[in-house]
């Protein structure tokens, strides 16, 4: 898919996103973020846009942090009621 065709699809999504959420900023992540200079000029958004600083690694790092937080959360224990 060309950047132009891809941007057309993303623009449809951005239009819906902005109508529902009115974001102050949109951060584009994933593998495409490292090529932002190729498609940012093709995107139409009322909100400012930035490429994710960690590019495709952002999701991996976020998942690892979430897993770490889950692992650190104490598990509830069963309490027995006195008769």
Residue 79 falls within a domain, yes or no? no
Residue 16 falls within a domain, yes or no? yes
CA distance 17 to 61: 24
Residue 36 falls within a domain, yes or no? yes
CA distance 46 to 44: 7
DSSP tag of 33: G
Residue 83 falls within a domain, yes or no? no
Residue 81 falls within a domain, yes or no? no
Residue 80 falls within a domain, yes or no? no
Tokens found for residue 7? 């941007």
Tell me the residue range of the domain where 40 lies. 3-72
| Model pTM score | 0.68
62 and 40 Cβ atoms separated by less than 8 Å: no
Residue 12 falls within a domain, yes or no? yes
Q: Residue 60: its pLDDT value, please?
A: 87
Tokens found for residue 66? 């979430």
Q: What is the mean pLDDT of each run of 10 residues along the chain (83 residues)?
A: 94 97 93 91 95 88 91 76 58
CATH classification at residue 23 = 3.30.420.40
CA distances, 57 to each of 12, 29, 39, 43, 46 (Å) = 25, 9, 20, 23, 27
Query: Total domain count for the chain?
Result: 1
Q: Residue 82: its pLDDT value, please?
A: 58
């Amino acid at each position: 898919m060309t950047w132009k065709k891809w941007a057309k699809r993303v623009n449809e999504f951005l239009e819906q996103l902005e109508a529902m959420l009115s974001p102050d900023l949109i951060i584009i992540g994933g593998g495409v973020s490292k090529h932002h200079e190729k498609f940012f000029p093709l995107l139409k958004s009322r909100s400012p846009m930035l490429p994710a600083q960690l590019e495709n690694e952002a999701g991996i790092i976020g998942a690892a942090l979430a897993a770490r937080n889950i692992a650190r959360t104490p598990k509830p224990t069963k309490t027995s009621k006195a008769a």
